[in-house]
Structure 1
Amino acid sequence: MSKDSPPESEGRRLRRRDTIALTAIAIAVLLILLFSGAISLPVALTAVGAIAAMSFIYYLLASPASPDSRPAEPDQGENRITANEASTSGAMLENLPFPVLLVGSGGRIERANPAAHEYLGLGSESGLLSASLRQPKVLEAVSSVLRGDGGKIVEYSTFAPIESHVRVHVIPLKSGDNGAFPWRALLVLADETASKRAERMRGDFLANASHELRTPLASLAGFIETLKGHAREDIEARDKFLNIMQDQTERMGRLINDLLSLGRVEMDEHVPPSGDTDLSGMTQDTIDSLTPLAKSKGITIDFEGDAEARVVGDRDQLFEIAQNLIENAIKYSNPNTRIVCDVHANVGREEIDRLTNSLGREAGRLTITSPALTGGRRYAILRVRDAGSGIERRHLPRLTERFYRVDGQKSGPKEGTGLGLAIVKHIISRHRGGFFVESRPGEGTVFSVCIPSQKARPSSGDF
């Protein structure tokens, strides 16, 4: 064997030896049977031909691939893998839950798994990476890898329309040819939004809770001190203080529940829901649960619109939206009035514009969260109209701020915590929907939310 012989030559030589030996033994056995008269000459010749053919086939199948077709050894120093190795893992990558993309020359996306299609909103046709992922640090890392540099890890954050924190692993792949563009880039996106938000949520919760709980706790401490002092034997004062203490305690309970709910919503805001829910049925259930509260003020709640409206959403969170909006409508409507809740299924851009402009041109209107209306997307819309005094234009931009309450809505201990509309906003953001408010002083306020009624899915056959 010469010095230049490939490593497979020795193995091929041994297989050739084994094949010849087995064939010779088989032919010898046939000759013995022929001369002993056990078989005839035609049968012996046929058997010899069959054995020779099977031996040749075995030799071909057992031989290794040619050296040129073997994948190149990975460069351990740069942690590189070959395009051949990547292609053998295609079936596995198809089912990975995190986004994976293969980028070729010119920064064009050659393949993307379903998770990448959904996360980046890719169409059925491949396009430039820069059109789908506008992150200079990532694009610079990809360009560097395509030039033959080593792999990189890049982190980036976005805050609009949805906050997200992503770590991108950019891995170089050696192409099968040695042309002008021998390298490709494999991108693996790891979403770290949940962990980042968990860290921030702990700090926000402590800051918000300590700020909002300070006043009721101070009131409770003052009442307890009074009851232990000169009001110990004053039955009338004791009953009055105990009622106030109960109200303050209930408000603190509502506040803590709302803070926890807001924290849970913010944790999952970057992950869109995938469930199927009937928005109309859920709204009717919410109305039934709040009817006793409305009757205590002489208010009736009427449901109008479509009997069924299927949406892509989390039923518990959608129930929380309807509950917050209807509770606010009851709270700020005048006694002995009427609240209207209506649901419209499968609406588009024109219907949304019409339904969210129901109070006329003189009314104040604000789009808190705008839905994506491109690509013929359809939505179901829920509107809740109260019978209150309305909200002035200057207050509309701040309605979804934490703990913000319009002047005149802060007096009683049973008033809201100022977190309800903030919770609604974050739930709508998670559902990739829309949130609108319009109000006209003296004629009430209408809150409208729209939820996607269909979900675009990545085309089959990609990565």
Structure 2
Amino acid sequence: MTGWFQGIRAKFYGIFAGSIAGAVLTIVIVQSLLGRFAGWDAEQAEERYSFLYAAFFLLLTVIYFYLLSRRMLARIGEIRRTLAVIQAGNLDVHMTDAASDEIGELARSVNAMSASLRHSIERELRSERMRSEMVAGISHDLRTPLTSLSGYLGLLRGSLRHDLDASEEYAGICERKSRELTERIEELLAYSLRQYAAMPLRRELISARALAEQVMIDFIPRTEEEGVEWVIEGDGRVLVSADPKLLARVLHNLIDNGLTYGKEGGLLRITIRHADRKRQVELAIINYGPPIDVRDLPHIFDWNYRGRGASVPHADGNGIGLASARQIAELHDGRLEVASDSRETVFRLILPVPERAID
């Protein structure tokens, strides 16, 4: 009840009643003064000049209403001017209206809105600055191994014919610089993926097997060099609705991980099949190398997780490849799972079957 009396509605009613009471009281006082000093007959005058009395009463009511509501109107005007200032882009404004009525609450809401907008803009500016610094840093990190790689390739070319020991040393350095370059590119791709999450996917209806074969072609020189056999099992008619470039990135990361840490097993298998009564498509990348430590399994897809030691199987060098693969899977309303034991390690990419591909 107390809040009602403090509200703007009660104040408005009070101003209106006060205006009427003020107008009546003024007329009574004027009549009394005229009757005392000028012999004014109030009753006779009211009958003869009733219209003028009514007009005078309305005029006084309006005047009193304006005088009594002037402060309230000024408060509303201040809110209007403050909103105009905010609209112009100046968020460093603060209203001092501390009243407990609706206008005071509106003023406090305007203050809160201004502060929230200011903090949001500051946060966005900081984020933008961090993004710029990150891109600049990654660009610098890309340029450094590229410069070294170019220089050592030149040395390697000059030493191939007459200094085999130096050539072997330079080739090792080039290989190390290439890995550094790959890691920096992975970081840039991971950053791009985090920005990509807010963008719509460019989905296409594609054959899961055809995409796996296309990605695997890039690894053929590596499998031949490392003596790893590979096989793709599955029907080419199994379709998925996905962004081909992003899904290829997932398969690339998983195959690269399998070859890196499972080459001791000598075989990499990729299986493609329907699951969950044909409501899902499962792409499994299987290697037969050392198992993943059970302590690492819950964190294998975490950003920047590197496992327990530099030689931990399936913990990629910078903790980005598998994390970005999981994020891409989630962007496609799917998921990425892993299982590992002494016999095999299986990464399963599970995606929903597109409606028009369901029999």
Aligned match for 1:312, one of 231, 236, 241: 241
RMSD between aligned residues: 4.6
Number of residue-to-residue matches in the alignment = 241
**How far has the Cα of 1:447 moved from its partner?**
0.7
Q: Write the mapping of 1:40-439 to structure 2, written as runs, cut at 5 A.
A: 77=80, 199-204=129-134, 235=163, 238-278=166-206, 279-335=208-264, 337-345=266-274, 347-348=275-276, 378-400=279-301, 401-402=303-304, 404-405=306-307, 407=309, 409=311, 416-439=317-340
CA distance 1:438–1:330, change in 2 (3 Å): same
For structure 1, list consecutive stretches of 5 or more residues without a partner in the other structure: 1-74, 79-143, 157-166, 168-192, 228-233, 352-377, 457-463
How has the CA–CA distance of structure 1 residues 264 and 242 changed in structure 2, closer, same or farther, with 3 Å as cutoff? same
**3-state SS of the aligned residue for 1:273?**
coil
| Amino acid aligned to 1:277 | L
Write out per-residue CA displacement over residues 129-185 of structure 1, whole angstroms, 9 at most, x where no aligned residue: xxxxxxxxxxxxxxx9xx9998996999xxxxxxxxxx8xxxxxxxxxxxxxxxxxx
Offset at residue 431 of structure 1 (A): 2.0
1:250 counterpart letter in structure 2: S
Contact 1:281 1:308 in 2 (8 A): no
Larger helix proportion, structure 1 or 2? 2
Rounded to whole Å, the distance in 2 between the matches of 1:302 and 1:196 is 48
Superposed displacement of residue 330, structure 1? 1.4
Distance in 2 of aligned mates of 1:195 and 1:454:
40
Residue identity in the other structure for 1:382: L
For 1:194 and 1:243, how far apart are their aligned partners in 2? Answer: 45
Give the AA of the match of 2:228. I
- In 2, distance between residues paired with 1:153 and 1:314? 39
Alpha carbons 2:306, 2:317 under 8 Å: kept:
no
Counterparts in 2 of 1:238 and 1:404: CA distance versus 1, 3 Å:
same
Distance 1:337 1:201, change over 3 A: same
- Greater relative CO, 1 or 2 (CA 8 Å, sep 6+): 1
Q: CA deviation at 1:250?
A: 0.9
Which structure has greater strand proportion? 1
Length-normalised TM-score, structure 1: 0.42
Counterparts of 2:269 and 2:312 in 1: how far apart (Å)?
25
1:391–1:444: 8 Å Cα contact kept in structure 2? Answer: no
| Cα distance change, pair 289–239 in 1 and its aligned pair in 2 (3 A) | closer
In 1: Cα distance, 2:308 partner to 2:219 partner:
23
1:206 Cα offset (Å)? 6.5
C-alpha contact (below 8 Å) 1:438/1:447 kept by paired residues: yes
TM-score by length of 2: 0.53
Q: Which runs of 4+ in 1 moved over 6 A?
A: 147-152, 193-197, 206-214
CA–CA distance in 2 between the matches of 1:342 and 1:406?
29
Query: Which has more radius of gyration?
Result: 2
Percent same amino acid among aligned pairs?
17
Unaligned runs of 5+ in 2: 1-76, 82-101, 156-161
For the 8 Å contact 2:265–2:287, the answer to whether it is kept is no
SS in 2 for 1:257: helix
Letter in 2 for 1:331: T
